[in-house]
Amino acid sequence: MALDLSAVGAKTDVYDYPYDWKILATYALGIGAKKDELAYVYEAKGPKVYPTFAVVPSFGPMGEMVGKTQGSLASILHGGQSVRIHKKIPSEGVAKTVATLDGIYDMKKMAQAIVKTKTEIGGELIFETESSIIFRGEGGFGGAPPPKQAIPEIPDGMKPSWTHEETTSPEQALLYRISGDQNPLHADPDFAKMVGFPAPILHGLCSYGFVARAVILKALGGDGDRVKFYSAQFRKPVWPGETIRTEGYDLGNGVTAVKAYAADRPDPVIARAWVEASAS
């Protein structure tokens, strides 16, 4: 089925997503939160909100926009993600989200769809997201290439300012999908094999959350409210049960560049990634 380029510019109606401490705690546990991060998982100590929770209210409207592309759902991979936080995310509320299909681009062998969302809570713009959705085998249609993105560069020879290792559980994807990202690729062994993987893989957005937590724990004193922007590209799959090693590079002015690796494999699973944070 050919991609429907005429769908570019389509916009959803408002999606309402009510949430409370239980939803926040489930998300935090899904991205690996531990008992030492009690303010994120226990209502009497917060609850604080990890900034990457911003992706959760976007699942529904983003899915609608992906459907508008007419691309094959069996060929989908999540290529990259960014979140921009405008104001502190409340501990409970109703997230009102609108998504736009911002573009469909030709990557020769693959196609890329960009979906952007804006979310208001209590009448105020709280956060925005941008998702890069990859359709394997659906490129070569003569469209424009993806626009280039300005990404902070890690100077040659610079060593990491810090390293953080954390092991995912074998059930990590099953826990993370409760937050709403229910692609069977992350749960069903038969489906995973059908689309070319030997077993279910961890959600890119789950790895994305693990890496954000690493930055927050190692560079921001555990305070996720300091994160203003976070962008990452997903390069390789992570298998549930593997250890994620995150390397952080302090570039100054509140910018931390990051790379993440899984197990002992040499190629990064997350790259071209950085966090912009406010001063403490």
Q: What is the pLDDT of residue 1?
A: 55
Active site residue 181: yes
Q: Which of 204, 209, 248, 254 is catalytic?
A: 204
Q: What is the pLDDT of residue 2?
A: 83
Q: How far apart are CA 123 and CA 68, in angstroms?
A: 28
CATH architecture of the domain covering 5-277: Roll (3.10)
Residue type for 252, please? Answer: G
Q: Which of 186, 216, 244, 254 is catalytic?
A: 186
Q: What is the pLDDT of residue 74?
A: 79
Q: What is the 3-state secondary structure (H, E, C) of the chain?
A: CCCCHHHCCCECCCEEEEECHHHHHHHHHHCCCCHHHHHHHCHHHCCCCCHHHHHHHHHHHHHHHHHHCCCCHHHEEEEEEEEEECCCCCCCEEEEEEEEEEEEEEECCEEEEEEEEEEEECCEEEEEEEEEEEEECCCCCCCCCCCCCCCCCCCCCCCCCEEEEEECCCCHHHHHHHHCCCCHHHCCHHHHHHCCCCCCCCCHHHHHHHHHHHHHHHHCCCCHHHEEEEEEEECCCCCCCCEEEEEEEEEECCEEEEEEEECCCCCCCEEEEEEEECCC
Q: Which of 139, 180, 181, 224 is catalytic?
A: 181
What pTM, to 2 d.p., does this model score?
A: 0.95
Active site residue 60: no
Q: How far apart are CA 38 and CA 260, in angstroms?
A: 25
Nearest to 200 by CA among 233, 174, 181: 174
The residue ranges of every structural domain in the chain are 5-277
- pLDDT one digit per residue (tens) for the chain, 280 residues: 589 999 999 999 999 999 999 999 999 999 999 999 999 999 998 899 999 999 999 999 999 999 999 998 878 889 999 999 999 999 999 999 999 999 999 999 999 999 999 999 999 999 999 999 999 889 889 899 999 888 999 999 999 999 999 999 999 999 999 999 998 999 999 999 998 899 999 999 999 999 999 999 999 999 999 999 999 999 999 999 999 999 999 999 999 999 999 999 999 999 999 999 999 7
Active site residue 134: no
Q: Which of 85, 133, 201, 270 is catalytic?
A: 201
Q: What is the pLDDT of residue 162?
A: 98
Active site residue 4: no
Count CB neighbours of 69 within 10 A: 25
Residue in the structure block whose two tokens are 């994160």: 227
Q: What is the pLDDT of residue 73?
A: 81
Residue 233 bridge partners (DSSP): 80, 271
Q: What angle do CA 86, 87, 93 make, to 5 degrees?
A: 120
Contact (Cβ atoms closer than 8 angstroms) between residue 100 and residue 10: yes
